[in-house]
């Protein structure tokens, strides 16, 4: 993995976390905390899946 790829991944993760906390802040008003955690885990799983797809 090159340094550029690492920067892209870190940047992508940071953007995702910022967006997630904005969305999560809104979701937490509508759903329970546990629903938010499940949603987060699903999103993380999807990101891992996409990352593996992109690497191949």
Per the structure block, which two tokens stand in for 47?
């990101």
Judge whether 27 and 36 are in contact, CB under 8 Å: yes
Judge whether 40 and 20 are in contact, CB under 8 Å: yes
Q: Would you tell me the crossing angle of helices 3-30 and 33-55 to the nearest 10 degrees?
A: 160
Give the tens place of pLDDT for each residue, 17-55: 777 777 776 665 666 666 667 778 888 888 888 777 777
Mean pLDDT of 2-7: 80
Which residue stretches of 1-56 are H helix?
3-30, 33-55
pLDDT of amino acid 26 = 66
Q: How many Cα atoms occupy the beta-carbon half-sphere of 4 within 13 Å? A: 0
């Amino acid at each position: 993995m090159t340094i550029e790829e690492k920067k892209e991944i870190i940047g992508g993760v940071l953007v995702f976390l910022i967006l997630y906390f904005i969305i999560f802040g809104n979701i937490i008003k509508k759903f329970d905390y546990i629903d938010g955690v499940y949603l987060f885990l699903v999103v993380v799983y999807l990101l891992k899946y996409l990352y593996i797809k992109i690497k191949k």
